[in-house]
């Protein structure tokens, strides 16, 4: 593995041919042609500029809990944010979090400060940045309910400040889905509901326990593969009705506990998972007339 120093401060190290499967919850996918973990916003600009100058396609990766990376890996440059942009600070009645902050850490921080409303994030294994992009949520709540504003870095090297209304947050959607090269760098959340830290922690523990009864124990998944269609049965029920529980393609297996989860039971490949997803979509459409929409992001396809 070779490295190249791209900034004077010696922070923007790029590793080449870096395996990506270990950086995803599914543990699937090839290598990144180049991978860098920006130290701060200045580093983000430097890396974006470098990608632009060299004509490298640019990809973002948080904690890899909502992506399926192709078996051939990713060309260009991948910015890995799971350990970057980790600032988490109270500013009066708000909490500011860097894009790389894990959502459970955000929930814990709010609890520690004595503010409720973030408990639903305790069991979502992603980052703030990717969470905003898809308006992560659970238990009838979503980031839209606590978000005050976000800062986004664009490939034109602009820093945009956007409100939730400007972001168009909805069920697993936002304007950012139309701008896949915009990087959320920071988000600010309202601390609006004071409560006792112990009561907040008890609620978080209860939600996590509930999750365990409903979701598979195998951590090698991406959570829900498909979005729940509006106004109908949830995706898991549709997939179960179509007879897919336990269905296997290679080592990609539809969970028997929750049919909207596809598990990596060993050495599943992206090709297996994609074929299984296509099979599920076709059969649910044929048998129940519902077009299932993917929640999980396919890289590089969805950015091409
Ligand atoms: C067991 C399990 C349970 C889950 N439960 C839930 C749940 O209850 N609710 C829910 O909403 N989700 C759930 N998820 C899905 C996932 O955790 C969320 O979608 C999460 O927000 C993804 O964050 P990430 O950092 O892992 O994103 P990644 O998978 O790394 O990336 C996802 C997408 O976001 C983009 N991205 C990453 N960082 C940024 C950034 N800073 N700015 C812009 N784009 C970015 C990537 O390019 C990619 O397109 C679950 C996943 C698992 C594995």
Q: Whose CA is nearest to atom 28 of ligand 1?
A: 64
Mean pLDDT, rounded, for 292-302:
97
Residues classed as catalytic: 172, 224, 295
This prediction's pTM = 0.95
Q: What are phi and psi of 299, to 5 degrees?
A: -115, 130
Per-residue pLDDT for 4 more than 70?
Answer: no
Probe ligand 1: pick from 57, 61, 145, max atoms within 8 Å of CB?
61
Number of H helices, E strands in the chain: 7, 19
Mean pLDDT, rounded, for 72-96:
96
Per-residue pLDDT for 261 more than 90?
Answer: yes
Pocket lining: 127 vs ligand 1, CB cutoff 6 Å: yes
Pocket lining: 280 vs ligand 1, CB cutoff 6 Å: no
Level-2 CATH architecture, domain 88-213: 2-Layer Sandwich (3.30)
Per-residue pLDDT for 264 more than 80?
Answer: yes
Phi-psi region of 29 (alpha: psi -120 to 50; beta: other; left: phi over 0): left
The domain 3-80 is classified under which CATH number: 3.40.50.10440, 2.40.110.10, 3.40.50.12780, 3.30.43.10? Answer: 3.30.43.10
Kindly report, residue by residue over 167-193, the tens digit of the pLDDT.
999 999 999 999 999 999 999 999 999
Pocket lining: 228 vs ligand 1, CB cutoff 6 Å: no
Average pLDDT for the chain: 94
Kindly report, residue by residue over 122-160, the tens digit of the pLDDT.
999 999 999 999 999 999 999 999 999 999 999 999 999
Nearest atom within ligand 1 for CA of residue 183? 42
Q: How far, in Å, CA of 247 to CA of 67, rounded?
A: 21
Per-residue pLDDT for 44 more than 90?
Answer: yes
CB of 118 closer than 8 Å to CB of 107: yes
Nearest atom within ligand 1 for CA of residue 100? 41
Kindly report, residue by residue over 194-225, the tens digit of the pLDDT.
999 999 999 999 999 999 999 999 999 999 99
CB of 201 closer than 8 Å to CB of 107: no
What does the pLDDT read at residue 232? 87
> For 235-303, which CATH class?
alpha beta
Kindly report, residue by residue over 99-111, the tens digit of the pLDDT.
999 999 999 999 9
Q: Tell which residue, 301, 288, 293, has the closest CA to residue 277.
A: 293
**Residue 117, both tokens:** 């409303």
Residues near 239 by beta carbon (within 8 Å), at least 6 away in sequence = 226, 245, 254, 259, 260, 280, 284, 292
Centre of ligand 1 to C-alpha 9, Å, is: 30
Centre of ligand 1 to C-alpha 220, Å, is: 14
Q: Where in the chain is the domain with CATH 3.30.465.10?
A: 88-213
């Amino acid at each position: 593995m070779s490295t190249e120093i791209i900034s004077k401060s010696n922070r923007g190290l790029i590793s080449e041919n870096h395996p990506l499967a270990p950086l995803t919850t599914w543990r699937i996918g090839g290598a990144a042609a180049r991978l860098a973990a920006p130290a701060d916003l200045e580093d983000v600009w430097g890396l974006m500029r470098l990608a632009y100058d060299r004509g490298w396609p640019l990809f973002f990766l948080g904690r890899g809990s909502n992506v399926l990376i192709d078996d051939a890996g990713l060309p260009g440059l991948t910015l890995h944010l799971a350990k970057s942009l980790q600032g988490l600070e109270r500013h009066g009645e708000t909490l500011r979090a860097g894009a790389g902050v894990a959502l459970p850490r955000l929930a814990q921080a709010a609890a520690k400060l004595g503010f409720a409303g973030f408990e639903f994030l305790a069991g979502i294994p992603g980052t703030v940045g990717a969470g905003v992009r898809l308006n992560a949520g659970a238990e009838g709540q979503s980031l839209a309910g606590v978000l005050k504003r976000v800062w986004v870095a664009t490939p034109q090297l602009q820093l945009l400040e956007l409100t939730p209304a400007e972001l168009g947050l909805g069920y697993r959607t936002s304007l950012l889905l139309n701008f896949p090269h915009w990087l959320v760098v920071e988000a600010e959340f309202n601390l609006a509901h004071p409560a006792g830290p112990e009561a907040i922690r008890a609620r978080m523990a209860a939600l996590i326990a509930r999750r365990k009864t409903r979701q598979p124990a195998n951590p090698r998944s991406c959570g829900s593969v498909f979005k729940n269609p509006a106004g109908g049965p949830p995706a898991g029920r549709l997939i179960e009705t179509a007879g897919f529980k336990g269905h296997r393609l290679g080592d990609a297996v539809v969970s028997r506990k929750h049919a909207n989860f596809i598990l990596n039971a060993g050495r599943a490949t992206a090709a297996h998972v994609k074929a299984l997803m296509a099979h599920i979509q076709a059969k649910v459409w044929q048998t129940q007339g519902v077009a299932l929409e993917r929640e999980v992001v396919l890289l590089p396809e969805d950015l091409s």
